Amino acid sequence: MEETTMWKGSRSQITNGGVYVLCLLVLIGVIVGGTYISLVWLAAALPLLWAAWVWISTAAESFELTTERLRMKRGVFNQVFDEVELYRVKDVSLARSVFERMLGLGTVTIETSDRGQERLLIPSVRKSDELREHLRTQVEIVRDRKRVREVDTADGHIEHSWVTSFSAVRNHQAVGDSPCHTSSAVHDFFTMRPLISPAFLILVGMLRVDAAPLSSADLEELRERLDQITESASSQLDRRFKVALDDFRAGIQSDEAAMELYLKCVEKVKFTDKQKKSQDFRDWKRSHEEQHKNPHFRQALRHQLNWLCLSLRASIRPDDQQKLIPEMSKAMKDLFGNSLELKGQFEILAQDVSSSVFFTAYELGDMKPKEWPNSPIMIAAVYDKYLMPPLRRARAYQDLRNLWDERIKMELVKESLKENQEKPSGIARSDKPTPKIAEFQESTLPELLWSKHKDLFTAGDEKVAALEMLKHIEVNISNVKAKEWAEEFKTLIAPPAPKTTLPP
């Protein structure tokens, strides 16, 4: 969403009226005194310079409200620029002195959770009531869009809870919770500690009444409470999963959506959670602006989000992982079929999605799937465990052969992506294979082809695969693995050992 200016203004010069009147009186006094003593005329410049300086310094102080933040500028020679993200605004108030009311002015006071800028003043501006309403409305809009709410913690600090759906809050209110519980409900959305701790304290209180052994009734009550805690924890987990999945799917839809979600997650994980100033995040964002505008980087984020969605679904229903095979195959083809749009992004694509900033921001640490490829770059794991076994069982030899060719091409593209990541962008790229690509073609590629022929042979396509294996050994006879391949081939085509029968 493009950031636009909603209001812009500065402190009214009328508030300097007392200074200007005083300067005028001094100037009149100088003029009168100059009629008697000529040297007094030299002092006439002083009130003029003073009035000019007050006017310029007031004009140099300006405020700008945009759809995202409040910007402030002050200083004549040494200028200071500052800004506060609107979602950090806690309270907006308006005060008018008698003098300001007579002149149609007002002072807006803003309380924020930004450390170092806890209180901001926009003094003596016109249409101050409209400014206050603009601020209050836009703060709520930004919070809803960024899906963040503030929760007062025990130490008095403000904690930002990132949410994507307010259904949890509405559900709490629907069963009779009072409004004061709403903020804690939102906070509980991403952490179960507030849920478990009270129940634990209740149990401890029950047990410390006296040292007598537990009765049957006590044991039954403990089991019931434990079941309630477990059920609530499971419900919290399911809610987190659904919320995260909805947001990740929305981020996949476009480069802009993926980038927006990425920035929000980075801000939460690396700045908000670490109690850093919003200015630190803005400085970081400016220093990485070139990377964030890179379309290859944005594409890589979308591929990472897509794989993360598949991983979450695999973790929540591990027995149904086979149902994800068509989507897994499409994700791999989309990634490796558009490798030119992903130059220099191997690091993101190879990153374990469970260590990504998306996974961390949504606190999904207990949803990491077991025995699941943790990135789309893990080609061997994807094909060997998920894509190829159904074709082997079905004896679909041609489809299996095509899938092997597809996998081998992807392995070559993977090496190319890795090479682009390691090679500085300023170095010209030639059509001649790089040493690593050449090594892949001379060493890894023959091994992959041998694995293909051997797999087809063991799957049942013995006649065609045997001829291919023999040809492969002949073409690659100088390969260091040729002797090993020949021994494997002999073992595969060796006649079965005769069965021995015991004498009667």
What is the DSSP track for 190-246?
Answer: T--HHHHHHHHHHHHHHHTS-SPPPPHHHHHHHHHHHHHHHHHHHHHHHHHHHHHHH
Q: Which pLDDT does position 37 carry in this prediction?
A: 67
Length of the chain: 504
Q: Which pLDDT does position 211 carry in this prediction?
A: 57
pLDDT category, 188, cuts 50, 70, 90?
very low
Share of the chain above pLDDT 90, in %: 26
pLDDT above 50 (res 142) = yes
Token pair, residue 382, equals: 């994807």
pLDDT above 70 (res 368) = yes
Q: Which residues contact 89 (CB under 8 A, 6 or more apart)?
A: 70, 110, 111, 112, 135, 139
Mean pLDDT lowest for which of 100-104, 370-374, 499-503? 499-503
Exposure on the CB side of residue 251, measured as CA atoms within 13 A? 29
pLDDT above 60 (res 328) = yes
Q: Which pLDDT does position 3 carry in this prediction?
A: 77
Among the ranges 140-144, 176-180, 202-206, 236-240, which has the highest mean pLDDT value? 140-144
Write the CATH number of the domain with boundaries 5-146.
Answer: 2.30.29
The whole-number average pLDDT for the span 445-467 is: 93
What is the value of pTM for the model shown? 0.61
Closest by CA to 256, choosing from 264, 267, 244, 246, is 264
pLDDT category, 197, cuts 50, 70, 90?
very low
- pLDDT: is 191 or 384 the higher one? 384
Q: Where are the domains of the chain?
A: 5-146
Token pair, residue 223, equals: 């089991």
d(CA 10, CA 328): 56
Is the Cβ–Cβ distance between 119 and 90 less than 8 Å? no
The whole-number average pLDDT for the span 189-197 is: 40
Is the Cβ–Cβ distance between 349 and 331 less than 8 Å? no
- Phi then psi for residue 36, to 5 deg, are -105, -40
- pLDDT: is 315 or 460 the higher one? 460
Mean pLDDT of the chain: 79
Q: Which pLDDT does position 301 carry in this prediction?
A: 94
Q: Which pLDDT does position 33 carry in this prediction?
A: 73
Q: Which pLDDT does position 185 carry in this prediction?
A: 35
State the DSSP code for 370: T
Rg (CA), the chain: 35
Q: Which pLDDT does position 487 carry in this prediction?
A: 93
